[in-house]
Amino acid sequence: MEKPTKTSYSFEIKKEVVDRFHAGATAMELAAEYELSSTNLVKSWAHKWREGGDEALQPKLKGRPKGSSKPEHLSEEEKLRRENKRLLAEVAYLKKLRDLREQGHA
C-alpha cells in the first residue's frame, strides 16, 4: 500500500492559476483543468497572493536554517545574553509557582 504524498506545485503554476482566477475563471474550472485536489486550493493561493504578492506563492524552504544548530560559534556576549534570558525565565516561573502554592492552588 502506497502512502499518499502531498502534491507540490511550482510558483509558475500557482501564479498562472491565480492570474486566471482574478481574470474571471471560476475556482471549479481551474481546479478541474489543473487537476487540483480542491477549489479551496485556488482560493487559498489567491488569498495568499493578495496578502503577500508573488513572494507568498514561492515554495518555502524546509528544515532548520543552516548554522542554527551550531550555537558554539556565538560570541561570549551572546552566550551570556542567552543564559541571562533563560535564567530570567526560570526565576519568573519559580515565582509564579511559589505564588500559586501560597494561594493553595498547587
Whether 52 and 17 share a structural domain: yes
| Residue 5 in domain | no
44 and 15 share a domain? yes
Q: What is the pTM of this model?
A: 0.55
The count of domains in the chain is 2
Verify that 23 and 50 share a domain, yes or no.
yes
CA 87 vs. chain centroid, Å, equals 29
Does any domain span residue 65? no
Residue 18 included in any domain: yes
Residue 2: predicted pLDDT: 59
pLDDT digits (tens, 9 = 90+) for 35-90: 988 899 999 999 999 999 989 989 888 887 776 665 567 889 999 999 999 999 99
Q: Quick check: is 89 in a domain? A: yes
Structural domain containing residue 19: 11-57
- For the chain, the distance separating the N- and C-terminal CA atoms, rounded to the nearest angstrom, is 50
More confident residue, 16 or 8: 16
pLDDT score of 106 more than 70: no
Could you tell me if 83 and 71 are in contact, meaning their C-beta atoms sit under 8 angstroms apart?
A: no
Please report the pLDDT score of residue 71 as a whole number: 56
Q: Which three cell numbers stand for residue 59?
A: 515554495
Q: Domain for residue 90, yes or no?
A: yes
